Structure 1
Amino acid sequence: MVAKTKSKNDTVTRYFEAIDSALYSLDIYLREENSPLYQHEMTGRVLAGYILRLRHSFDAWKNKVAFAERFAINQAESGYPTFQNVLDLDVDARSAAQKLAGMPDGATLREDMVDYILLKKQFPAALQKALAQRLYFEEVMQGDVFQPNILPETIKVSMNPKTARPYYVTHWGAFDGSANLPMVYVAVLEDSSKTMGKLLLDRSGKIADNLDIQFPVGGLLNPDLAHQFDDFAEKNSSYGLTLSTIADNMDKDFEELHPKQLRRIVMGPFYNAGVTSHGKIVEKILDTVRNPNHAWLLTWTVQELHSISETPAKRGIWSSEAARQTYHIDTDNLECVRQGVSSFERHALVPHEAYQAIYASGKRDEIFDGYHTHVVSGNQVLRDF
């Protein structure tokens, strides 16, 4: 189910204000140094960059609804704009400079709007659309938007003293077209290649002090595998794939890379009064919230998979086998088995006014069952409320 909207539609305006408030609040939560995600392998700091991409995307879409004939929101599942809008952002970003070159500048359009109002005593709808179109292309050209696939970056290198291998922390992003959700992946990868061992390690087997590497590094740190890893990330980032499947595929495709840990953060669904329809109980309560900017609830899920052992490589005259990881799946937890993960956490972020409405309804335990609940109060986030 999608929503057909117009530029003056109050519901659409409230939707964009609500999602902006939600992403701003999530950024506050993640940037606080006592956040568990912030402290864990820099995941919080990584996520902050992807949240900025989402905010740039929504800034662009907010202008797009003023000139586009139709703008669709996935009301029944994720609460995000549909995947086609993400594809359009990606395409428009590439042609933005050319499109802008053929448009009047913003100052001229604003002057023309004033003149039109003074002379004709009417609202300059056509000029407003032209200005919105210009602002849209300016946003997609200068801001990093959330693309269908965001290429990997390496943000850290260190050494595992047990295996004497260097390891990287690498992240990438994807907007899944089926689930209609933005996702972020963070991987810890050991590298057993002789090339990178010589480059990164000193004679004592520790990371060399004089490394001339400026992080973040675009792509995987190992240049021999970087392009192949980009292709892998693009083809193996679907929401429909479990983490264990992705890690096993990576383990098989890269003989010299050893995935020791893989994390996926799924940013959504998003619930907004008057727009989304995938949480009947939630949205009915949110409808009672006076301030529409506070009538939302954002959820996210953190999935984690880690290796518990490695089967050593076997080298023989007639055949050989690469090293393989054995991953821990918590078989005592049926949801972990279903997701193919070692562990997972569900989080919910909600404004204080909306939380009060949920609490007053008597549905708090039902709605937040299984979630770590965080309440936004001003410019603070109260954790595990």
Structure 2
Amino acid sequence: MTAEPDDARRYFAAIRAALGGLEIFMRDDRSPLYKHGIVAGIVAEYIARLEKSFACWNNRLGFMESFRIGRAESGFPVFQNVLELENDRRSASQRLATITKPEELRAEMADFILRHKAFPQALQRSMAERLYLEDVEGGETFAPFLLAKTVKVSVNPKTGRPYYLVHWASFDGSANLPLIYMATVEDSSPDMIAQLVVANGRLNEKVEIPLPVEGLLNPKLAHRFDDFTEKHSAYTLSPVTIATNLDKDFPELHPKQLRRVVLGPFYSAGITEHNSTVTEVLSKVSRPENAWLLTWTIQEVYSKAEKPGRRGLWSSEPASEEFFINTDDLEAARQGVSHYEKHALVPHEAYQALYAAGEADRIFAGYKVHILSKGRVISDV
């Protein structure tokens, strides 16, 4: 649905507060993700990209009449906005060349006001478009798909193989949700073992690796890996499906763990409509900037064992992973994961309203709740 200008401004204020609170949570030493500092750092990197995207979309309201969000589903912008932002980034320099420079626009606006005793709306729109394009051109936004990066390299002493921590992200076009992926992958390619592993089974310190490395560290597989991740980043694919397909498609790669962070849904009073109870209670929060609720899910699948490869006279099979799915937990089995966590971040005032309405226990059932209060995040409430 389309958000009108006033709604859009309230929405942007709420999502800005929510993403800012999530970033505080990620950097808090009491956060469960902080124990895995590199994981928190990866998520924070993509949050920063989202914040940049929302800042650009907010600026775009200066010359565009409306903004579409998934009111009844995710609470995030619809995919078309993400595509348009990426297209604008690519064409920004050409479009900027056709728009009058800022100082000239300001002079024309001042002259228009003096001559006509009226506000120069057309010139104001040109100025807004110029500022938007400058921001888009110079910033790292959350694109429809963000290519993988290798951020850690080590060696598994048991197998003698190097392993990589790789991350990438996508904005799912059907669910309108930002998705962040992290994978720990061993590499049994003989040339990579020869380069990266020394005789004592440790990482060869003589090889300089300027982390982060764009793409998979193995150059022979990097392009194929990019193609794979782009085609296998949909929300409809379960983590175990993605990990299993990665294992099958790359005999040299052995995925030991795949983690997916699903950001959303996001709830904002008077804007989103995907939970009538939440909407009704949040509408009673006195300050609109505190009338929101952000949820996210962390999904993880890991290998419990590796089935050795087999070489025969007539046929052979590569090594394959046996992924653990927690069938004792029906929700874990449904999601196709070994483990999952559901989190909710809510301003203190909104939590008080939900609690006072007697809805907190029902709404937050199964969630780890984090309350944003005075620039700090309080967990385990």
Q: 1:295, 1:354 within 8 Å by CA — same for their partners in 2?
A: yes
Give the structure 2 partner of residue 119 of structure 1.
Answer: 115
1:313-332 aligned at under 5 Å gives the runs 313-332=309-328
| Selected match of 2:259 from 251, 258, 263 | 263
- In 2, Cα distance between the equivalents of 1:371 and 1:192? 39
1:291 Cα deviation (Å)? 1.0
Which blocks of at least 5 consecutive residues in structure 1 are unaligned? none
Report SS of the residue matched to 1:42. helix
Q: Does structure 2 conserve the Cα–Cα contact (< 8 Å) formed by 1:60 and 1:135?
A: no
Alignment of 1:186-201 (within 5 A): 186-201=182-197
* Structure 2 residue 171 is the aligned partner of structure 1 residue 184: no
The equivalent of 1:99 in structure 2 is: 95
Q: What residue in structure 1 maps to residue 249 of structure 2?
A: 253
Provide closer, same or farther for how the CA distance between residues 111 and 294 of structure 1 changes in structure 2, counting only shifts above 3 A: farther
Q: Which residue of 2 aligns with 1:383?
A: 379
Secondary structure (helix, strand or coil) at the match of 2:69 reads coil
1:277 partner amino acid? E
- Inter-partner Cα distance in structure 1 for 2:77 and 2:249: 34
Aligned counterpart, 2:46: 50
Aligned to 1:299, what secondary structure does the other structure show?
strand
Q: State the secondary structure of the residue aligned to 1:366.
A: helix
Deviation string, structure 1 residues 138-182 (Cα, Å, up to 9, x no partner): 121111111111000000001111111111000000000010000
1:129 aligns with 2:125: yes
Q: C-alpha separation between the residues in 1 aligned to 2:343 and 2:110? A: 47
Q: How many angstroms does 1:69 deviate by?
A: 4.0
Q: Secondary structure at the match of 1:168?
A: strand
Corresponding residue SS for 2:264: coil
| 1:249 shift after superposition | 0.4
Q: What's the CA shift for 1:334?
A: 0.6
Specify the code of the residue in structure 2 equivalent to 1:3.
T
- The 1-side partners of 2:29 and 2:192 are apart by 32
Aligned length: 381
RMSD, aligned α-carbons: 1.2
Whether the aligned pair in 1 keeps the contact of 2:8 and 2:67 (CA below 8 Å) is no
Alignment of 1:298-313 (within 5 A): 298-313=294-309
**Secondary structure of the residue that 1:260 maps to in structure 2?**
strand
Tell me if 1:3 matches 2:13.
no
1:248 Cα deviation (Å)? Answer: 0.6
Query: Is residue 166–residue 192 contact of structure 1 (8 Å, CA) maintained in 2?
Result: yes
* Residue of structure 1 equivalent to 2:8: 12
Aligned partner of 1:206 in structure 2 is 202
Identity in percent: 53
Mark the runs of 5 or more structure 2 residues left unpaired by the alignment: none
Shift in Å, 1:119: 3.1
User: Given the two structures, how large is their TM-score scaled by the length of structure 2?
Assistant: 0.98
Task: Verify: 1:340 aligned to 2:373, yes or no.
Answer: no
The one-letter amino acid of 2:305's match is: S
CA shift for structure 1 position 95? 0.8
Q: Would the alpha carbon gap of residues 81 and 98 (structure 1) be closer, same or farther in structure 2, given more than 3 Å must change?
A: same
Deviation at 1:41, TM superposition (A): 6.4
**2:240 aligned residue (230, 241, 244):** 244
2: CA distance, partners of 1:100 / 1:251 = 46
